[in-house]
Chains A and B, each alone.
Chain A
Amino acid sequence: MKLLKKSLAAVLAIALLLGMSACGAEKASTSPTPEAKTPETTPEPGKEQITINFFSNLPDRTAGQGLLEQTIIDNYMNENPHVTIKVEALQDEPYKQKFQSYVASNNLPDIFNVWGQPAFFQAVMEKGYAAELNPDDYKDYGFFEGSTTDFSYNGKLYGLPRNQDMTTVFINKAIFEENNVKIPTTYNELVEAAKAFRAKGIQPLSINGRDKWILNLFFQDLVIKVSGNQRTIYDASTGKTSFASDPDIRKAAELFKGLVDAGLFQDSFTSADYGAAQNLFLQEQAAMFYMGAWEVGMASNPDNSEHFRQNVALIPFPVVEDGKGKVTDVCAWNGGGYAVSASSPVKDEAIKLLNYMMHPDNWPKIGWQKGLVVPGQNYKNYMTGNENVLQVQLTDILNSATSMSGTPWNDFNPGDWKSNVENLIQEFAAGITTVDEFLTALDNVVPK
């Protein structure tokens, strides 16, 4: 007993000392502010050692976009030995929270992920947190027409998109075949499929309802297919029309409810986060998976089972019977991208890194050829014929698209619009509110 206490006291004292000295030492070498530039690292002759802090929303560094990002970062560090890139990566929702806290404390990392959407990026550009980029640098980068619009403010460019995003229904062909369910092309077939899978105890469609925004996209897809007009949902969002009185939006809300009632979404979908929802599909427990086109890498990821990779495919969002929208009216936009902090002490180096990353030989080429992404830059020249099935199918849909939505409606207005409409749709999807209550509540949060 006595011994124990003595030893405890001793350990405590040592820890105290250690802790103090550790804190002292760490303090000196933390943030790369100019005055804190670490004197103990001996600079290489000629070039000064620099550290670039990289804040990413791609925590999985071994697959898909995260792998691509890490590959390019590693290449850059190899080519530029004087540069150290420190990556901090969090999933979308924690990323947004942390980003907000960085902004609030005016401590943004040197280069970071942004979503080119008013709800996210507009305030960042407007308040001068993002460094201005020189559009001439990117003349030959092959960015698709209009893809940098949402990364610009007042005619100035502040960020670059990385992908062509589109909502996508991924399917597992084997599950459809084994259970004799028809792959849906229309709304009614989707309802039938949901019921058929439910009857056999299979989860029809996996969706990350805890993250909420995905439900907004799903709803937007329905509105497009009902009204045939990409503007419909934006006009209601900006108060030009109203959610409650627009017959097409009302119809879409009823259809949405019909799908929830048919049990289309997996059990626990409102508490499933991105990883949980995707996992259900990867483990072949769900027949479909509703997600963005950025997940095309699933078909080439060796971590996924052979059986899965052979059976994964994607289909266009089903059309609605009597709806005015065509199968080629798609919900597509340029979402994720990068920007550099305006107050970064290594701003120029960070921009250099950004330019390197998005160079046609890097993000678009490596990403496309390794089957990791659908780039937001022209990738025609990089076709190898070895594309995975998802890339091919997606390119077909994109090439034949007759209209594209642009920024999703939940990201369309700045301020708290996003969190409001995301909460409302989750309540609606969970059966807490009725169609009427949902639509009226949406009208109530439209900025005046």
Chain B
Amino acid sequence: MTSTRYASPSYNGKIKAKAFRYIQILLCTLLTIGCVFPLIWLVDFSLVKANELFGKNFLVWPKKPHWENYYLALTDGKVPQYLVNSVIVTFVSVGLIVLLSVMMSYGFTRMKWKMSKVFLNIVLLGFMIPIHATLLSNFITFSRLNIQDSPIALIIPYVAFNLPQATFIMTGFMDTIPNAIEESALMDGCGIIRLLFTIVFPVLKPAIMTVIITSFINVWNEFIMAATYLTSDRFRTLPFSIYNFAGMYSSNYSAQFAVMTLSALPSLVAYVILNKHITKGIAAGAVKG
């Protein structure tokens, strides 16, 4: 009897804690629905006939999935071709961003020269410059140089606009690591290029991971520069396929939804596989940025 007496407050407390926990989980579940339900709706209606969208139900059960929507997306939507373009542009851009930002950061933090702070600040200024302000004049410049309508016209600005953040993350990280190993390597007469690749890169791994992830997301999803600088179909990147396809199949919503689903898929799959690294990388990048 006595035991219940003493136990009761903590028993109540336990119930309360349990209740709290369920409320917390419930709220999170609601938010989960808010985050993914529109996407489920999208996938759902990509599997039915276009006119079912005008029916009463807000979800339908595709008794017989209309895979031909996906067939259209793959053929006329040219998703595979755009995917390849996206992969090429993204990998080259991200590779260059990493390489250049490591080199620059090393130059800014470890090399001794008068103007290093000034130049570092100039690069960091890029944080604040909206990409859209450069669209008009870059377009003219690129066409004068005859590099518009080639992957180069995307890679250059993608690299340029991701450099400030990358450099910021790299310099921040470099400041926290001691340079004893480099010192001894340099003493041993190691050249600067070998030093970079054999010593600096491995040490910077976490920062590089962060840079890869943040710039990958930026570059992979970029739309307005791709829409402005590229003209012919063969170099277009994935985000553009939806835009293009919407014109061609303006009356077929299901097919449009199929293209949207397919374009969202690669980054979604990558995210599911790498989600721990990605969330960690983003958080690290943002807090430092």
- Direct A–B contact present (CB less than 8 angstroms): yes
CB distance from B166 to the nearest CB of A (A): 15
Determine the distance from Cα of A91 to Cα of B148 in the docked complex, in whole angstroms: 21
In the assembled complex, B126 has its CB within 8 A of some CB on chain A: no
B152 contacts A303, C-beta separation under 8 Å: no
Determine the distance from Cα of A273 to Cα of B256 in the docked complex, in whole angstroms: 15
Q: Which stretch in B16-24, B40-48, B139-147, B186-194 binds the other chain?
A: B139-147
- Taking CB atoms, residues of chain B closer than 8 Å to A285 are 54
B92 contacts A15, C-beta separation under 8 Å: yes
In the assembled complex, A77 has its CB within 8 A of some CB on chain B: no
Determine the distance from Cα of A86 to Cα of B92 in the docked complex, in whole angstroms: 28
Which B-chain residue is minimally distant from A305 (CB atoms)? B51
In the assembled complex, A348 has its CB within 8 A of some CB on chain B: no
- Taking CB atoms, residues of chain B closer than 8 Å to A179 are none
- Taking CB atoms, residues of chain A closer than 8 Å to B205 are 5
Chain A contributes a number of interface residues (CB within 8 A of B) equal to 44
- Do most interface residues of chain B lie in helix, strand or loop, or is the interface mixed? helix
Determine the distance from Cα of A15 to Cα of B85 in the docked complex, in whole angstroms: 11
CB distance from B146 to the nearest CB of A (A): 7
CB distance from B62 to the nearest CB of A (A): 18
Determine the distance from Cα of A278 to Cα of B246 in the docked complex, in whole angstroms: 13
B151 contacts A274, C-beta separation under 8 Å: no
A27 contacts B140, C-beta separation under 8 Å: no
- Taking CB atoms, residues of chain A closer than 8 Å to B235 are 26
CB distance from A202 to the nearest CB of B (A): 12
- Do most interface residues of chain A lie in helix, strand or loop, or is the interface mixed? helix
A275 contacts B247, C-beta separation under 8 Å: yes
Q: Which stretch in B7-15, B110-118, B171-179, B225-233 binds the other chain?
A: B225-233
Interface flags for B18-44 (1: CB within 8 Å of A; 0: not) read 000000000000000000000000000
B231 contacts A98, C-beta separation under 8 Å: yes
Contact of A279 among B155, B243, B250 (CB under 8 A): B250
B231 contacts A22, C-beta separation under 8 Å: no
A275 contacts B139, C-beta separation under 8 Å: no
B253 contacts A59, C-beta separation under 8 Å: no
A91 contacts B253, C-beta separation under 8 Å: no
B149 contacts A23, C-beta separation under 8 Å: no
| Residue in B91, B228, B249 whose Cβ sees the most chain A Cβ within 10 Å | B91
- Taking CB atoms, residues of chain A closer than 8 Å to B149 are 30-31
- Taking CB atoms, residues of chain B closer than 8 Å to A88 are 231-233
Contact of B246 among A101, A275, A283 (CB under 8 A): A275
- Which of chain A's residues 200-251 have a Cβ closer than 8 Å to chain B? none
A106 contacts B150, C-beta separation under 8 Å: no
A23 contacts B250, C-beta separation under 8 Å: no
Determine the distance from Cα of A5 to Cα of B204 in the docked complex, in whole angstroms: 13
- Which of chain A's residues 25-45 have a Cβ closer than 8 Å to chain B? 26-27, 30-31
- Which of chain A's residues 86-138 have a Cβ closer than 8 Å to chain B? 86, 88-91, 94, 98, 101-102, 104-107
A–B complex contacts, Cβ < 8 Å, 20 sampled: A5-B205, A12-B91, A15-B87, A15-B91, A16-B92, A19-B91, A19-B92, A22-B88, A22-B151, A26-B150, A30-B232, A86-B232, A89-B248, A94-B247, A101-B139, A105-B142, A105-B143, A105-B144, A278-B250, A303-B251
Where the two chains meet, the residues of A that have a C-beta atom closer than 8 Å to any C-beta of B are 5, 8, 11-13, 15-16, 18-20, 22-23, 26-27, 30-31, 59-62, 86, 88-91, 94, 98, 101-102, 104-107, 273-276, 278-279, 282-283, 285, 303, 305
